[in-house]
Amino acid sequence: MFDFKPDTQAGKADLYRDLHSAADALTSGEPDGVANMANVAALLGDFLPDCNWTGFYRMVGGELVLGPFAGRPACIRIPLGVGVCGVAAKTGETQLVEDVHAFPGHIACDARSRSELVVPIKRDSAVVGVIDLDSPDLARFDAEDQAGIEALAVLLADKV
Ligand code: SME
């Protein structure tokens, strides 16, 4: 049995340190990318407060395809350059969006989502997928979240 519990009193630095160590332990030695994404999506949902969707989209045949996640059912395919995920995948740059309603082309998979953080996962500098976090709160994510999820994307690059 796995028993990785977030310390709900911890600050973000400690929370991300614990999240990285749990993600590393869960994926260590496991070659199956889907299994690894599934466990990390569940960890993200458990560790990050005030998120309604935490998960992955994978680059498949030149578009993003839904991967493992925690949350409500979501859009299955997203063209590159469309929506927050599609822009992150096309540019290779993190998208930190305080208000999704102000983001041109935002795709509303879950009407509750108000802010979003999308971080590309790169292997040999090519985008192989993205980590997508959605929150029902405006401006839920900040630079510390961005740094924490970018470090997670590096940790996962060879495991998904
Ligand atoms: N809102 C995203 C789509 C994915 S869902 O949030 C899970 C976007 O605009 O890319």
Which atom of ligand 1 is nearest to 82's Cα? 10
For ligand 1, mutation pick of 37, 134, 135, 140 (most atoms within 8 Å of CB):
134
pLDDT in tens, the chain (160 residues): 677 878 878 889 999 999 999 999 999 999 999 999 999 999 999 999 999 999 999 999 999 999 999 999 999 999 999 999 999 999 999 999 999 999 988 898 888 999 999 999 999 999 999 999 999 999 999 999 999 999 999 999 999 9
The pTM assigned to this predicted structure is 0.96
* Domain 12-156 CATH class label: alpha beta
Which atom of ligand 1 is nearest to 69's Cα? 7
Q: Whose CA is closest to atom 2 on ligand 1? A: 107
How far apart are the CA of 141 and the centre of ligand 1, in A? 15
Q: Whose CA is closest to atom 1 on ligand 1? A: 107
DSSP the chain: -------TTS-HHHHHHHHHHHHHHHHTT---HHHHHHHHHHHHHHHSTT-SEEEEEEEETTEEEEEEEEES---SEEETTSHHHHHHHHH---EEES-GGGSTT---SSTT--EEEEEEEEETTEEEEEEEEEESSTT---HHHHHHHHHHHHHHTTT-
Q: Where are the domains of the chain?
A: 12-156
How far apart are the CA of 7 and the centre of ligand 1, in A? 28
